[in-house]
Amino acid sequence: MAAQNLGTVQSPILTVESDRLLIDSAFGKRLEQEFEADGAVLAAENRRIEAELTAEEKDLTERRPSMDAEAFRVLADAFDEKVREIRRTQDAKARELTQRREANRVAYLNAVAPVLERMMRESGAAVILERSSVFISANVIDITDTAIARIDSVLGDGSHLIKRDEQAE
């Protein structure tokens, strides 16, 4: 029989709150802060573009009475196409940001898997279940807080695994 580690839960089944692992670990917090910062940059860019387009539309509207109808139609159509193209570009940037966030989440889960597997072996467990999927259990088998501390200890903020400049690739 394997010797029990003091302070380690000994159970064939453990539970964990995977969302808390991401939200409360230094690694997960860093990824979320970077996502929020990139989202803020994109939002500021969208506000700047919106202000520029609003000014351009106002100028076009003010020029309309003094213009030939056909000349105005050409400018208005060009403006509409410009707006559609900008919208496509900004939507693509938002999708890319969301895809990067999901890719980082997958990379995070892959990075923490060995930490959780070691905790599972240390406790003699055969499985770690998502806590929200368990109908009822003893709180003692929830290793979320311990896992967060261990992830922080082993992986830190994860910057050695996922660097900010690599995320943009």
**C-alpha closest to that of 169 among 107, 124, 119, 112:** 107
Report mean pLDDT in 10-residue bins for the chain, 169 residues: 53 93 96 96 98 96 94 96 98 97 94 96 94 88 94 94 62
Contact between 15 and 143 under an 8 Å Cβ cutoff? The reply is yes
* CA–CA gap between residue 121 and residue 150 (Å, rounded): 14
- The Cα-based distances of 17 to 27, 52, 109, 138, 167 in angstroms read 16, 45, 12, 14, 26
Q: Cα 94 from chain centroid?
A: 12
pLDDT at residue 106, rounded to an integer: 93
pLDDT at residue 2, rounded to an integer: 42
Domain limits, the chain: 13-167
pLDDT at residue 138, rounded to an integer: 84
pLDDT at residue 148, rounded to an integer: 96
pLDDT at residue 8, rounded to an integer: 67
pTM over 0.75: yes
* CA–CA gap between residue 52 and residue 40 (Å, rounded): 18
